[in-house]
């Protein structure tokens, strides 16, 4: 099926296709494992999947369907094998992990008499989010870094590790110490939310890593350039929810990271209702001439035997010229 740019995106590509001087060839790895990392690679089967990832503390989700497994293999998933990892993209450097998490439940059934399926629902850091408990007394003189070190250490016991840029962000916080002792008791997620709110961050779990994102900023790293020659599909649009865009599946797009879109490629909406006070007011999300945006939501969708192989994005404009990257967003996402 040809898209609007006139080139074909073949289903279940097993070979690279040259588009605009770049090589594209679908690639996927889907694994289910036990807590020790031992498991099964199901990549050879037909796999359909859809992930939902955002910067909220609640776990990101995956719904994946695998077709025509043996009964013995199917019965081991959700029992012996309780974790799932998914990597997808294209041959070369456009391939990487897009989901890792814990299996919540499974469904077994048939779509036809000849096609059986196993459907998996999984949550990113589900076990850590639901079961990590704090019970710690903090002495006077404890700093924000000390608290975060303790909380991330507790989450790591449930296999959610600390993202590499967490220490960078924590280091930007003024080193103010507690004037008296404090007790941390209860769910770790609640204390992470309290810590993040007080210090101007949102926390979430992204592919098994605890992540901090400044409320008015972005994560460090190079912006992913999206255009018709790098996989952008259709025309992005700016609405009240943010800047919406679709591209060929791209694992480099990460929550809190940057993308770059040409301003002229984005459709915007401005009201021109006469006689009312909001005449000529822009009611869609802000856009920038620099074209840099922070990713709020990323949804990856694919089918190894079908057409879908996309990433849908919701983003907010950021100002890279701002002296403080923690306060560079044109809009806040509370």
Tokens representing residue 221 in the block: 């790293």
Do 186 and 263 sit in the same domain of this protein? Answer: no
- Asked which of 96, 125, 154 is the last residue of a domain, the reply is 125
Tokens representing residue 312 in the block: 């849908």
Whether 12 is covered by a domain: the verdict is: no
DSSP 219: -
CA atoms of 87 and 95, how far apart (whole Å): 7
Question: Helices H, strands E: what count in the chain?
Answer: 5, 20
Do 200 and 155 sit in the same domain of this protein? Answer: yes
Give 150-171 pLDDT, tens digit per residue. 999 999 999 999 999 999 999 9
Determine the straight-line distance between the first and last CA of the chain, rounded to whole angstroms: 40
pLDDT at 25: 86
CA atoms of 74 and 3, how far apart (whole Å): 36
State the virtual CA torsion across 307, 27, 96, 7 in degrees, nearest 10: -50
Length of the chain: 334
Inter-CA distances, 50 with 127, 187, 302, Å: 20, 29, 7
Greater pLDDT, 283 or 281: 283
Nearest in space to 155 (alpha carbons), one of 180, 175, 135, 125: 125
Do 296 and 204 sit in the same domain of this protein? Answer: no
> Do the beta carbons of residue 226 and residue 245 sit within 8 Å?
yes
Whether 9 is covered by a domain: the verdict is: no
- Asked which of 125, 144, 174 is the last residue of a domain, the reply is 125
Give 95-119 pLDDT, tens digit per residue. 999 999 999 999 999 988 889 999 9
Do 103 and 132 sit in the same domain of this protein? Answer: no
> Do the beta carbons of residue 95 and residue 27 sit within 8 Å?
yes
| CATH label of the domain that carries residue 107 | 2.40.10.10
| CATH label of the domain that carries residue 158 | 3.55.50
pTM here is: 0.86
Give 226-242 pLDDT, tens digit per residue. 998 899 999 999 988 89
Tokens representing residue 274 in the block: 């006469």
Residue with tokens 């941390």: 184
Give 28-55 pLDDT, tens digit per residue. 999 999 999 999 999 999 999 999 999 9
Whether 158 is covered by a domain: the verdict is: yes
pLDDT at 6: 34
Pairing label, strands 133-138, 22-24:
unpaired
Mean pLDDT, residues 122-126? 98
Whether 333 is covered by a domain: the verdict is: no
Q: Which range marks the domain in which residue 204 is found?
A: 128-213
Whether 71 is covered by a domain: the verdict is: yes
pLDDT at 24: 63
Residue 68's SS3 state is coil
Mean pLDDT, residues 289-305? 95
Mean pLDDT, residues 317-329? 65
Whether 100 is covered by a domain: the verdict is: yes
Pairing label, strands 258-260, 224-225:
parallel
Whether 294 is covered by a domain: the verdict is: yes
Do 148 and 167 sit in the same domain of this protein? Answer: yes
Whether 101 is covered by a domain: the verdict is: yes
CA atoms of 123 and 303, how far apart (whole Å): 20
């Amino acid at each position: 099926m040809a898209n609007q740019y006139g080139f074909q995106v073949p289903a279940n590509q097993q070979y690279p296709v040259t588009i605009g001087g770049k090589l594209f060839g679908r690639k996927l790895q889907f694994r289910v494992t036990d807590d020790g990392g031992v498991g099964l690679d199901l990549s050879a089967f037909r796999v359909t999947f859809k992930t939902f990832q955002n910067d909220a503390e609640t776990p990101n989700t995956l719904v994946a369907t695998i077709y025509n497994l043996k009964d013995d293999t199917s019965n081991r998933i959700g029992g012996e094998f309780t974790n799932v990892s998914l990597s997808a993209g294209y041959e070369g450097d456009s391939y990487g992990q897009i989901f890792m998490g814990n299996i919540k439940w499974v469904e077994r059934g048939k779509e036809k008499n000849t096609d059986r399926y196993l459907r998996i629902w999984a949550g990113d850091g589900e076990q850590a989010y639901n079961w990590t408990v704090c019970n710690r007394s903090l002495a006077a003189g404890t700093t924000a870094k000390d608290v975060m070190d303790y909380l991330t250490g507790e989450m790591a016991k449930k296999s959610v590790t600390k993202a590499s840029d967490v220490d960078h962000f924590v280091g930007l916080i003024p080193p103010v110490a507690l004037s008296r002792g404090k007790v941390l008791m209860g769910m770790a997620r609640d204390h992470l939310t309290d810590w993040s709110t007080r210090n101007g961050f949102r926390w979430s779990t992204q592919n098994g890593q605890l992540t901090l994102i400044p409320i008015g900023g972005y994560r460090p790293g190079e912006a992913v350039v999206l255009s018709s020659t790098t996989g952008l599909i259709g025309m992005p649009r700016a609405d009240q929810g943010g800047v919406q865009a679709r591209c060929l599946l791209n694992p480099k797009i990460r929550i809190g990271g940057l993308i770059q879109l040409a301003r002229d490629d984005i459709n915007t909406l401005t009201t021109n209702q006469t006689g009312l006070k909001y005449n000529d007011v822009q009611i869609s999300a802000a856009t920038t001439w620099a074209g840099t945006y922070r990713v709020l939501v990323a949804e990856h969708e694919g089918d190894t035997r079908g057409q879908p192989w996309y990433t849908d994005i919701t983003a907010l404009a950021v100002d890279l010229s701002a002296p403080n990257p923690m306060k560079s967003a044109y809009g806040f996402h509370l």
